[in-house]
């Protein structure tokens, strides 16, 4: 007799998908640092590293990604924002010191919290997406903006291809 199949809880579904996203982000981050420091990498651009396909996942996180049609840059931004809470050790690489000036690398962005842990910023996102070419990264990633009409507010994130409304 086969054992009955257990249906994963919503938390388990999210955990599985987030593990995939974190593993993908770790590959993106590893490639960014290798490319930035001129080391051998498996790609010429971090954008070549495909994010996990979440099309068939029933998790809330996957639903969020699908609902908003998140781009590569937007998914990097979301995961970067989650890292201090889910996998802070992935941020340890940002403690790398610039030996020329005996200080942190300014181009990595970020801040330090009271305990000295790295807290990513928009500048960190720009570094991950474009290395030293932050302007190029930001030209592809537009932050959310809100336009108010007489009957409702419309928020547009990243591109004109989608809009969400709120009461």
> pLDDT (tens digit, 9 = 90+) per residue, 15-46?
999 999 999 999 999 999 999 999 999 999 99
Confidence of residue 97 (pLDDT cuts 50, 70, 90): confident
Residue 134, pLDDT > 70, answer no
pLDDT at 160 over 80: no
Helices marked H in 70-160 — which ranges?
72-86, 122-130, 134-140
Q: How many CB atoms lie within 10 A of CB 22?
A: 17
DSSP code, position 7: P
Strand pairing class (118-119; 153-156): unpaired
25 touches 93 (CB < 8 A): no
Q: Give which of 72, 124, 58 is closest to 96, Cα–Cα.
A: 124
pTM above 0.85, yes or no: no
**82-96, 122-136, 144-158: which has the minimum mean pLDDT?**
144-158
pLDDT at 138 over 90: no
The arithmetic mean of pLDDT across residues 157-166, rounded, is 39
Q: Is the pLDDT at 146 greater than 70, yes or no?
A: no
Phi-psi region of 61 (alpha: psi -120 to 50; beta: other; left: phi over 0): alpha
Nearest C-alpha neighbor of 36 from the set 124, 146, 148: 124
In 3-state terms, what secondary structure has residue 155? Answer: strand
């Amino acid at each position: 007799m086969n054992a009955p199949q257990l249906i994963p809880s919503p938390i388990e579904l999210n955990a599985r998908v987030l593990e995939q996203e974190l593993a993908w982000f770790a590959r993106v981050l590893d490639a960014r640092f290798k490319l930035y420091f001129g080391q051998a990498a498996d790609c010429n651009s971090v954008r070549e590293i495909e994010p996990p396909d979440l099309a068939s996942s029933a998790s809330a996180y996957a639903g969020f990604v699908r609902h908003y049609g998140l781009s590569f840059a937007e998914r990097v931004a979301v995961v970067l924002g989650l890292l201090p809470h889910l996998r802070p050790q992935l941020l340890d690489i940002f403690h790398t010191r610039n030996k020329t000036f005996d200080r942190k690398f300014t181009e990595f962005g970020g801040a330090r919290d009271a305990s000295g842990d790295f807290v990513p910023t928009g500048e960190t996102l720009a570094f991950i997406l474009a290395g030293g070419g932050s302007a190029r990264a930001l030209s592809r990633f537009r932050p959310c903006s809100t336009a108010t009409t007489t009957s409702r507010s419309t928020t547009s994130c990243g591109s004109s291809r989608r809009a969400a409304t709120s009461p």
